[in-house]
Chains A and B, each alone.
Chain A
Amino acid sequence: MDRSSHHRPRRIVPLVAVAAAAALALAGCSSGSGGKKAEEGGGDGASAGKANTPQMTVALVTHQAPGDTFWDIVRKGAEAAAAKDNVKLVYSADPNAGNQANLVQNAIDQKVDGIAVTLAKPDALKSVLGKAEKAGIPVVGLNSGLSDWKDLGLLEFFGQDESVAGEAFGKKLNEVGAKNTVCVIHEQGNVGLTQRCDGLKKTFEGTTQILNVNGVDMPSVKSTITAKLKQDSAIDYVATLGAPFAPTAVQSVGDAGSKAKVATFDLNKDLTKAIQAGDIEFAVDQQPYLQGYLAVDGLWLYKNNGNYSGGGEQPVLTGPAFVDKSNVDAVSEYAAKGTR
């Protein structure tokens, strides 16, 4: 004991000195512009006190791929509702339908009070949802599965099919006078993304082309969109299917010397800035926050007051909501917080 107390200061002094020197050196390096300091202020997302109902557990099981911005917002909405309704939220996700079914089974085994699930591949979830029904656990659907939730015996549905978003996008392209668009799929084989492009193709009166890019490698996304714009110089609109890819598409348009405009599905805070600056024409938003929020809130209402939205007949649509130069200022504040 004595020894260590003698030794310790000797070892620590140089360390402290180095740390202090580093801190001093770093202090001289602070950024005069941007950074977190410039953006401080503003609380968390919407919060409205807390319900005094007994605590219940809700499992939210989605087909999110790790690190996807969109699902992050869904989850934030669900968390906000959970905090308000005194709900313990258990979140899990897997893009593989079989694994997603296992996660639902896991929730049933945990004897949760309610399950909110996305139905990207409804057939794969059929049997496990039957088990939930048998176990008497209410299940609500969100996001994907607009045409299947009723058949699967779900209580209610919050969201908007990807194909509906795609169709709305196509109509908007007609409105702005686009003639030739390329739909950029950042994850080949993804059901939701394919549905968006298919929906777009259905309503868009001009030519629609599909382009697959490697979404995990941004430089590759940039090169590939550039290549496509070179290959077909008639393209006048680039439609990206995820918010992070739209600014990259803008760079590609510049690199290719093309006159194409860029519009996108989904929204984030960089996008609202780009829309304000006029770099990106519009974004179609299906309000993922609302989907997560309403799904959890819906289960809480059912448990505590027997309500169900849509009366078990009609889905609750959360979109499509367009964000363009005319209304971007109103939503940018929330997008900056990562909740819209």
Chain B
Amino acid sequence: MSMTRQAEPAVTPPPAPGPKANDGRTTRRTPVRRLLARPEVGVFLGVVVVLVFFLIAAPPMRDSSSMANILYQSSTIGIMALPVALLMIGGEVDLSAGVAVVTSALTASMLAYQLSMNVWVGVIAALAVSLAVGMFNGWFLMKTGLPSFLVTLGTFLILQGINLAVTKTITGNVATDDISDMDGFAQAKALFASSFELGGVQVKITIVWWIVFAALAAWVLLRTKYGNWIFAVGGNKESARAVGVPVNFTKISLYMLVGFGAWFVGMHQLFSFNTVQSGEGVGQELIYIAAAVIGGCLMTGGYGSAIGPVFGAFMFGMVQQGIVYAGWNPDWFKAFLGVMLLGAVLINLWVQRTATRR
């Protein structure tokens, strides 16, 4: 495949009128081509290429426990990348998603500790706070009609400030207190941050949750009315409204789904590390968005899948850890990361264009 063909615009210009009456635009594509046109196929092929590359370049990665480690890191990104991807298909972004994770963890930790409550009280309160933040994002967006970039940039900054200031005011420090000796901690840890043995390898529970959530998201997106609404509001809001799609409900609930994801990952961090640093999470929102985009979701909305972001997050985790497994010069770490991601996106793009060309 030459570079010039890759650089062609997404919409192929109509071919010059030839001798044949059928110009090919209405012929049915072969099943292989239709499969290749799915949003997640490009990233799947990208993942395979990068995986093979690292299996050759980084011998320690061939170990099955290394794969468990990569999957763990991918799952903590992936659980958030799922709702972020759904939101993106629905035509919006959420820049507050990274710090919202920390907000949730801080809420649960401080509430339980300061009031000496069973940690489940904190966990439930954190869920309420996370959903409320999501609801506010969605409500404010629909009320004002401002771009979601602006609205969530606002909440991003607000939450960042609140995380720090409230933690400092309440605990006197910038990190929360250790809650690992409190009632209910062991149960919550079992749910959010435990690990189990599978074939001699310690597997983190977040990987299981990731797969469960992904299956759920895929089902909702492809098999339910709500899934259709998401595509509709992301494709064209006004047309969607005209045909009776509850646009406000769909968008607000999508933001609340992001809130739910933030809560889950936040609880994982809390019960995995016992304390939370208030300054964490900044910049993570871009990683979630990147995982969704690598996974084939369009930033303009209306197009994407739930399985794509799973591979997108896996790609991210694999590249990040693969560089370490390969033992490359760490100063170049971020540059390698960027090059690998661009490479993955290029493969993705190429597959898409080849497949949709008739």
Contact = CB atoms under 8 A, between A and B. Distances in A.
Given A210-B330, A212-B333, A230-B66, A218 B279 contact: no
B284 A217 contact: yes
Interface in A177-231: 185, 188, 209-212, 214-220, 222-224, 226-228, 230-231
Contact of A270 (B70, B121, B274): B274
B175 A244 contact: yes
Interface residues of B, number: 66
The listed residue with most A CB atoms (<10 A of its CB), out of B66, B73, B120, B168, is: B73
Interface string B320-331: 110011110011
Contacts of B178: 34, 269-270, 273
B121 to A, nearest CB: 5
Contacts of B112: 31, 35
B114 A232 contact: no
Interface of B is mostly: helix
B202 A31 contact: no
B321 A218 contact: no
Contacts of B269: 218-219
A228 B324 CA distance: 6
A247 B325 contact: no
Given A188-B333, A218-B269, A224 B324 contact: yes
Interface string B255-283: 00000000000001100111101111111
Contacts of B121: 26, 29
B320 A35 contact: no
B280 A217 contact: yes
B164 interface: yes
A68 B325 contact: no
B320 A29 contact: no
Interface residues of A, number: 53
Given A218-B269, A244-B175, A31 B182 contact: yes
A218 B280 contact: yes
Given A31-B112, A218-B269, A227 B175 contact: no
B119 A31 contact: yes
Contacts of A251: 272-273
Interface in B112-144: 112-121
A254 to B, nearest CB: 9
Given A67-B163, A216-B283, A223-B317, A34 B181 contact: yes
Interface in B53-112: 58, 60, 63, 65-66, 69-70, 72-73, 76, 98, 112
The listed residue with most B CB atoms (<10 A of its CB), out of A38, A39, A223, A273, is: A223
Nearest to B178: A270
Question: 5 closest pairs, A vs B, by CB?
Answer: A67-B279, A35-B116, A223-B73, A34-B181, A34-B182
Given A38-B181, A67-B163, 19 more contacts: A26-B121, A34-B116, A34-B183, A35-B113, A35-B179, A65-B279, A66-B279, A67-B279, A216-B284, A222-B72, A223-B317, A223-B321, A230-B66, A230-B69, A231-B58, A244-B175, A244-B275, A256-B69, A273-B178
